[in-house]
Amino acid sequence: MKRKSFLRKTILGTVGVGLMGGIYSWQIEPFWVQFMHHKMSIQHLPEKLEGKTLMQISDLHIGNRFDYQYIIDSFKKAGTLNPDIVVYTGDYVTFENDEQYQQLNEVLHHAVKGRLGTVAILGNHDYGKNWSDKYVANQISRQLEESGITVLRNAQVEIEGLNITGLDDLWGLNFNPDHVMNEIDPTQANLMLCHNPDVCDLDIWNDYKGWVLAGHTHGGQFKPPFLPPPLLPVQNKKYTAGIIDLGDGRTLYINRAIGHLLQIRFNMRPEITVFKLAGYTNG
């Protein structure tokens, strides 16, 4: 093969691979939701919850950045799993204006509900622009409640013997965890929800032991092979995605998000997580 012909084919091949990769990252992976299945061992779990399922959905980001019919379709798939408990861990909209309220209602009409209960916490985007609009947060909370979803804003709810504590968002206007953290009974089955995993590094935990479910990072959305994601909206860069043993009796799980701020993902598929509950055993 002549040198010029070889170079031309090499360049065209490289451009073709790049173009295909771009299409994949833009049109395929952002809408290729993955159902992740994990065991969740909880100390003092009531026998009646053994083997039950708890589904985590995070970071819907309903708005004008991508076609949110994909979220509705994913909810329909998730609903066929008949989860016993569903928790939503924040960022229901990417807020630009009041249009997002109507868009969110359209999606919430198809929201996945747990047979035993459904709870939610807020994320930073649920506080509107610059995470500083109390009205937006209150309005989104009302819409969730009207859809049959209990919103926890530094509060706790008990579902069939499982106490779920939900913290308001770290970057929002209502992060005030001290009182509710002091109410946690370590002799009961407990689960913690916080949107931003950086909360795990704050001195608020009052010797809590157990699982902490978070979102916020989207796993970075874009992860080059063998390298960490280049962009993570957290101070602690080890908080990427998946199960993280915090080494003090807490286990953090970071959901990769079902939605996206920008319609691009690579090597970091959107996620819905399904946990199978089990009693805690020492080994």
Domain boundaries defined on the chain: 32-279
**pTM, two decimal places:** 0.92
Contact yes or no for 88/120 (Cβ under 8 A) = yes
Average pLDDT of span 45-62:
98
Whether 221 shows a pLDDT value over 90: the answer reads yes
More confident residue, 225 or 108: 108
More confident residue, 227 or 158: 158
Contact yes or no for 137/173 (Cβ under 8 A) = yes
pLDDT, residue 15, reads 32
pLDDT, residue 10, reads 37
Listed residue (231, 211, 212, 213) closest to 221, CA to CA: 231
Residue 157: helix, strand or coil by DSSP?
strand
In angstroms, the CA 283 to CA 270 distance is 32
More confident residue, 113 or 280: 113
Cα angle 91, 92, 95 (rounded to 5 degrees) comes to 85
> How high is the mean pLDDT of the chain?
92
> If you search the block for the tokens 């198809």, which residue do you land on?
110
pLDDT, residue 20, reads 53
Q: How many residues does the chain have?
A: 283
Listed residue (241, 199, 236) closest to 222, CA to CA: 241
Class of domain 32-279: alpha beta
pLDDT, residue 51, reads 97
Average pLDDT of span 44-51:
97
Q: Which pLDDT tens digit goes with each residue over 136-163? A: 999 999 999 999 999 999 999 999 999 9
Q: Which two tokens stand for residue 108?
A: 């919430």
